[in-house]
Chains A and B, each alone.
Chain A
Amino acid sequence: EAAVTQSPRNKVTVTGGNVTLSCRQTNSHNYMYWYRQDTGHGLRLIHYSYGAGNLQIGDVPDGYKATRTTQEDFFLLLELASPSQTSLYFCASSDLRGGSDYTFGSGTRLLVI
C-alpha cells in the first residue's frame, strides 16, 4: 500500500540542538512537502521538492533546511532548534501540485525545551 512514513513520531531536543526529521514515500510521487501545524494556524508549508536534488522554499522556511536525497526520501533539518519550532510536523507527497492526491504522513511531534 502506498504510504508516507515519518520518523521519529516524537522528539524532544534542547534549544540550540540539531534535529533531523525523516520522511519516506512509496507512492512514486514527484512532489514532497514539509508542513508545520500549530494551534490556531492551518498547516503551513515550510519546504517542498519536485524531485531528487530539488528544493523549493515554502511560506515559513526560516530556521529550516531540507534535502531530497532520492525520489522517496525527504529530510527536514533544524540545525539550531528554538522553542518557536515546537510544533507538529507533517510530510506529504503528491503527483501534482494542488491536486487531490496528497498523501500525508502521521506526523512528528517536536518539543524544543
Chain B
Amino acid sequence: GDSVTQTEGQVTVSESKSLIINCTYSATSIGYPNLFWYVRYPGEGLQLLLKVITAGQKGSSRGFEATYNKEATSFHLQKASVQESDSAVYYCALSDASSGSWQLIFGSGTQLTVMP
C-alpha cells in the first residue's frame, strides 16, 4: 500500500537558520499522488501548509517551500530562515486515487523546535 516516510522525529534549529525536513513516499497509483504538508501548532488541530498535485512543481506558503520530485519520490520541506513561531509538528501526507478512495496517508510527523 501507499506510505509516507519522515526520517526525523525531532529537529532543533536556531532562529534565522535554514531548515529542511525530509519526506519520501511510496504510491501504488500509476498516476501521480497529490502531496501535502500539514502543520500542527501547540494546542491546535492540523492545518494545511501547502499542497502540490503536479510532479515537478513547487508549493510555497509562509516562507516554506516543497518541490514534488517524482524521480526521487520526495517532497522535502524547506525554509531559508526559521522563526521561533515556526515551532510545531510538521506532517507530510499524500492522497492517491489508486484505490478509488483518495485516502489521505500521513507520515509520522517531525517536531520542529526553533531556539531563540
A contacts, CB < 8 Å to B: 4, 37, 39-45, 90, 92, 96-100, 102-107
Tell me the bound Cα distance from A90 to B36 in angstroms: 18
Tell me the bound Cα distance from A68 to B107 in angstroms: 27
Q: Which 4 A-B pairs have the closest CB atoms?
A: A98-B102, A98-B95, A42-B106, A104-B45
Interface size of B by CB at 8 A reads 26
- Is B82 located at the chain interface by the 8 A CB criterion? no
A38 (CB) vs chain B CBs: closest residue: B108
Tell me the bound Cα distance from A89 to B40 in angstroms: 13
- Is B115 located at the chain interface by the 8 A CB criterion? no
Inter-subunit contact B45/A4 (CB<8 Å): yes
Interface of A is mostly: loop
Query: Which residue from B9, B45, B47, B103 sits with its C-beta under 8 Å from A98?
Result: B103
Inter-subunit contact A42/B108 (CB<8 Å): yes
B36 (CB) vs chain A CBs: closest residue: A100
Inter-subunit contact A43/B34 (CB<8 Å): no
Given A96-B102, A98-B102, the answer on whether A43 and B91 have CB atoms closer than 8 Å is: yes
Inter-subunit contact B45/A106 (CB<8 Å): yes
Tell me the bound Cα distance from A16 to B9 in angstroms: 32
B46 (CB) vs chain A CBs: closest residue: A104
Query: Which residue from B34, B44, B107 sits with its C-beta under 8 Å from A42?
Result: B107
Inter-subunit contact A42/B48 (CB<8 Å): no
Inter-subunit contact B104/A106 (CB<8 Å): no
Inter-subunit contact A102/B102 (CB<8 Å): no
Which residues of A are found within 8 Å of B47, using beta-carbon distances? 104
- Is B88 located at the chain interface by the 8 A CB criterion? no
